[in-house]
């Protein structure tokens, strides 16, 4: 069904919200992107509703409708009865005027077709041929049964939807007409495409509202000369039953709305837990007034239900009813191609997910699946991957970080923005002479370290490093403090450099002593040299005097 709901990959943030809310888990994840699995999707639109990043886009058929208007054939609009909630106070004549301003030839209420269908249901109930009968008005419910509960197909009422009934009636009266349905439903697009001839185009209320806005058309109330038929109540929870003559006393009449409730009801039906009954089923909570393509009114279920109820009447629309066979329809199974893993396959995948025993299977649902085993099946089928298990990733990250903290030779402390110690590793405990982490965790760091460097790192939002002497502990440390702006935490790494510093100091002391000794030796040598020089100087002088006198004596002779 990816042709009806597509994904804007740039917007998908891998949050798994769509898979958590998908009632049939028809969304797969690969390469951190969501993908719709067509053969499992029931087009309920839940993924479109809940996506926080607006990554899901409904197929827009506005251009298709415009091309019909550009043709020669008359174009009729079949307007779903929930329009009374989507365009409150306008009325069908006001809607027709606005649609004609866009180029339509006429507009009628789909509630006319609903009147024909509800009469078909009444006859089916009275015939007593069906122990259990499920309404077939909601195409998402029909898809749910056809794809996921095919064993319940015999219970699905063999009748067309109000849309099909109304479009057939229009084309009976105006054979050359083209019909565009307007409603709150995404799955109606599939219904129209599957039929291929009855409905020519489907627009959502959101598409029509955008078209009105771009064309400068504002729907305004017009005098309404239509009989307020009671089938207008169809789009509310229990609306089908409210419009029916539930006079078959041997039959129970039940209402179920919301896909999860529908699934539970189908399981009860298949388990034989229900007696003779007619079950009105709607995939949307609150029925059609809560449809996915009614952004403006979807968050106002009570006001929407009241608007539809006030617009409906107590009598049936006066219609010429066609032969029963004209409103009949058979529903066939739409098989899915899914491989199921063996128990061994599941166990291997669960082991990879860190689910070593059943006690590890938390079934938290954070990945979007209801249980760890269901997630493992999805992994086997290629719909999910291991990284979608948040507890597994958290445990893996915690184990990895714990191993680092536990085995690091450096002392590590983590402080909060108030300079309170949040975490301390064994190396730091030894370095700071602490017996246990509880001795300091939760207390201010000033108890064990000078807070100045921490305050400086927090103020500057960067990294600070210094070598300092911890006099209280008799240790030299290289202290590095990093401030994390995102989580407002301070990470302190203490590297014990006492031996290195002691060795350096000894080396410096030895060097100093060596220099001092060298200086003394040099001084002594200089004195000796000077003394020798002095003695040499005196001896030379005396020799010179003696030789001079000897020379003079020789000359005198």
pLDDT score for 246: 92
Q: What is the pLDDT of residue 552?
A: 61
Contact 129/154 with Cβ under 8 angstroms?
no
> The tokens 């249980």 sit on which residue?
371
Q: Could you write out the DSSP letters of every residue in 178-231?
A: EEEEEES-SHHHHHHHHH-SS--EEEEHHHHHHHHHHHT---------S--BGG
Which residues, other chains included, contact 276 with Cβ-Cβ below 8 Å and sequence gap of 6+?
128, 131, 132, 250, 251, 252
Can you give the pLDDT at residue 446?
Answer: 93
- The pLDDT tens digits of the residues spanning 215-262 come to 999 999 988 878 889 999 999 999 999 999 999 989 999 999 999 999
- Give the mean pLDDT of 37-52: 91
Entry pTM: 0.72
Residues present in the chain in total: 557
Angle CA(117)–CA(293)–CA(46) in degrees, nearest 5? 95
Would you state the structure tokens that stand for residue 446, as one six-digit string? 């000033």
367, 388 contact by CB (below 8 A): yes
pLDDT for 46-72, tens place per residue?
Answer: 999 888 888 888 999 999 999 999 999
Identify whether the C-beta of residue 333 lies closer than 8 Å to the C-beta of residue 151.
no
Beta strands in 382-474 (DSSP E): 411-415, 421-424, 463-470
Given a contact cutoff of 8 angstroms between Cβ atoms, the answer to whether 134 and 281 are in contact is yes
283 and 262 in contact (C-beta within 8 Å)? yes
The 3-state secondary structure of 486-529, one letter per residue: CCCEEEEEEEECHHHHHHHHHHHHHHHHHHHHHHHHHHHHHHHH
Q: 209 or 549: which carries more pLDDT confidence?
A: 209
Q: What is the pLDDT of residue 6?
A: 84
- Write the pLDDT tens digit of every residue in 363-390: 776 677 878 888 888 888 777 777 666 6
- Specify whether the backbone of 282 is left (phi greater than 0), alpha (psi in -120 to 50) or beta: beta
Non-local CB neighbours of 359 within 8 Å, separated by 6+ positions: none
Examine the pLDDT at 437 and tell me if it is beyond 60: yes
């Amino acid at each position: 069904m990816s042709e009806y709901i597509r994904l804007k990959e740039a917007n998908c943030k891998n949050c798994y919200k769509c898979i958590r809310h998908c009632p049939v888990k028809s969304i797969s994840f690969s390469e951190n992107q969501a993908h719709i699995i067509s053969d499992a999707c029931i087009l309920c639109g839940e993924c479109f509703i809940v996506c926080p990043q607006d990554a899901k886009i409904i197929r827009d058929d506005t251009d298709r409708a415009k091309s019909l208007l550009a043709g020669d054939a008359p174009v009729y609009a079949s307007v779903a009865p929930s329009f009374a909630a989507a365009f409150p106070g306008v009325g069908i004549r006001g809607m027709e005027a606005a649609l004609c301003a866009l180029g339509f030839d006429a507009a009628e209420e789909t509630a006319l077709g609903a009147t024909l269908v509800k009469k078909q249901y009444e006859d089916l109930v009275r015939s007593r041929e069906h122990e259990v009968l499920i309404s077939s008005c909601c195409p998402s419910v029909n898809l749910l049964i056809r794809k996921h509960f095919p064993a319940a197909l015999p219970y699905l009422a063999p009748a067309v939807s109000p849309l099909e009934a109304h479009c057939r009636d229009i084309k009976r009266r105006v054979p050359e007409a083209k019909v565009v349905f307007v409603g709150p439903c995404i799955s109606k697009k599939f219904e129209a495409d599957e039929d291929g001839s009855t409905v020519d185009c489907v627009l959502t209320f959101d598409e029509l509202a955008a078209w009105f806005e771009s064309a400068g058309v504002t729907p305004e109330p017009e005098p309404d000369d239509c009989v307020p038929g009671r089938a207008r109540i169809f789009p509310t929870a229990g609306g089908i039953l409210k419009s029916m003559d539930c006079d078959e006393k041997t039959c129970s009449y039940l209402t179920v709305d919301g896909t999860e409730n529908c699934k539970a009801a189908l399981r009860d039906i298949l388990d034989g837990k229900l007696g003779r009954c007619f079950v009105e089923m709607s995939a949307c909570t609150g029925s059609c007034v809560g449809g996915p393509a009614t952004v403006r009114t979807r968050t106002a279920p009570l006001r929407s239900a009241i608007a539809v109820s006030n617009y409906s009447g107590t009598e049936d629309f006066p219609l010429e009813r066609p032969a029963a066979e004209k409103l009949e329809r058979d529903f066939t199974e739409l098989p899915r191609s899914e491989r199921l893993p063996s128990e061994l396959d599941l166990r291997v995948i669960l082991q990879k997910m860190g689910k070593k025993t059943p006690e590890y299977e938390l079934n938290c649902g954070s990945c979007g699946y209801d249980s760890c085993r269901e997630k493992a099946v999805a992994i086997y089928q290629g719909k999910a991957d291991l990284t979608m298990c948040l507890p597994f990733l958290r445990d893996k990250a915690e184990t990895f970080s714990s191993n680092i903290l536990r085995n690091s030779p450096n002392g590590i402390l983590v402080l909060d923005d108030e300079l309170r110690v949040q975490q301390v590793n064994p190396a730091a405990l030894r370095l700071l002479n602490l017996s246990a982490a509880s001795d300091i965790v939760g207390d201010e760091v000033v108890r064990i370290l000078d807070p100045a460097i921490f305050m400086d790192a927090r103020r500057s939002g960067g990294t600070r490093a210094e070598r300092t002497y911890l006099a209280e502990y008799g240790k030299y440390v290289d202290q590095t403090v990093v401030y994390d702006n995102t989580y407002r935490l301070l990470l302190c790494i203490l590297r014990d450099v006492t031996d290195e510093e002691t060795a350096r100091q000894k080396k410096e002391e030895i060097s100093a002593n060596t220099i001092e000794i060298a200086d003394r030796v040099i001084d002594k040598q200089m004195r000796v040299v000077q003394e020798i020089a002095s003695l040499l100087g005196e001896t030379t002088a005396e020799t010179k005097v003696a030789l001079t006198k000897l020379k003079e004596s020789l000359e005198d002779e």
